[in-house]
Amino acid sequence: MSAVSKEASDCIQEAERIAQGASPPPQRADRREHQRFAFEVEAPVVWAGQMGANHEIVMIRTKDISAGGVCLSARSMVHTGVCGVTRLPLPGGRSAIVGLEVVHCRYTGDMHYAVGCRFTEPPDTLRGLRFVEKNGRLRLMR
């Protein structure tokens, strides 16, 4: 995992406050409200399914981050309004579990989609989800 810049770390810490309900989530807007910073890591994402559905981890590359959200580079389309949860790295080996809501998804070519997400509290169906390393593989724990 590459080093996380101070700017990206500040954005992740704000996302963590939003996920914990300590800060309000960003409002949907036609224009970006926050400055974006380069942030390229492989992040585990779990999209909320229907009740009782198996939730699977999808490893997705991040492109950039702001205090209000993150842009992901996904291999499949994710519909606007879909919610999920991800784990983002912080300095010192710590990580933040944050909620996501897809606000746009566009095809960028070469079988990739740019998925713009705003930070939210984790969806109820994924609240309490933990990402755990086991035998070198990432697993979900409740």
Domains and CATH numbers, the chain: 6-26+36-141 (2.40.10.220)
At residue 13, does pLDDT exceed 60? yes
Q: How far is CA 90 from CA 1, 14, 32, 105, 117, in A?
A: 11, 12, 24, 26, 19
What totals of helices (H) and strands (E) does the chain contain, helices first?
A: 1, 9
At residue 94, does pLDDT exceed 80? yes
Q: How far is CA 136 from CA 1, 59, 132, 139, in A?
A: 14, 14, 10, 10
The CA distance from 91 to 34, in Å, is: 22
Q: How far is CA 43 from CA 23, 25, 26, 27, in A?
A: 23, 21, 21, 24
- Percent of the chain scoring above 90 in pLDDT: 58
pTM above threshold 0.85: no
At residue 2, does pLDDT exceed 60? no
Q: What is the mean pLDDT of residues 123-127?
A: 82
At residue 15, does pLDDT exceed 60? yes
At residue 105, does pLDDT exceed 90? yes
The pLDDT, as a whole number, for residue 109 is 94
